[in-house]
Amino acid sequence: MDGHVVGRRTVNGLTVVRLAGELDVVAVHQLRRGLRASHLATLPDLAVDLRAVTFLDCAAVGVIVAARNTVALAGGCLRVAGLQDEPRRLLALCHLDDVVCVHESLADAMAMRCTFHGAMPKTGGPAPHPSVSY
């Protein structure tokens, strides 16, 4: 199965994007379009459901980093959930698990407040991570 965006919705003001398959250089264009906040979202955060993703390559990681930086500039965080073993290993090797909010379940990733961040600053958004580039 080629990698692609298989669903987008807004839940409690949060944009939730569901991805599936092998996310590689072929999927980059669709990923760039898909990993954006919905116009209906009231939260700057973006939750990405990766339960059905079996493979990530460096091109897909670059898109994830770009999406994370865009979300962070808006005061939010990129929340990912459901990482399989191989994609989880790649994110760890790239140290993205230090700047992307990794959640075990989609329910945790969709919480009103990101449980990865714990306490929320007075602005109402998560504490910002440092900018990342690759």
Sequence ranges of the domains in the chain: 4-109
Q: Which two tokens stand for residue 128?
A: 């910002």
Write down the pLDDT at residue 127.
44
Write down the pLDDT at residue 120.
39
Query: Rg of the chain's alpha carbons, rounded to an integer?
Result: 13
Write down the pLDDT at residue 70.
94
Intervals of the chain under pLDDT 50:
1, 119-134
Write down the pLDDT at residue 114.
76
CA distance 21 to 31: 12
The region, left, alpha or beta by phi > 0 then psi within -120 to 50, assigned to residue 95 is left
Place of tokens 């690759």: 134
> Which CATH code fits 4-109?
3.30.750.24
- Per the CB < 8 A criterion, the answer to whether 132 and 68 are in contact is yes
Q: Chain centroid to CA 45: how far? A: 9
Q: Which two tokens stand for residue 105?
A: 């379940």
Q: Which two tokens stand for residue 56?
A: 């990530």
Q: Which two tokens stand for residue 61?
A: 């990681």
Helical residues (DSSP H) of 2-57, grouped into ranges:
28-34
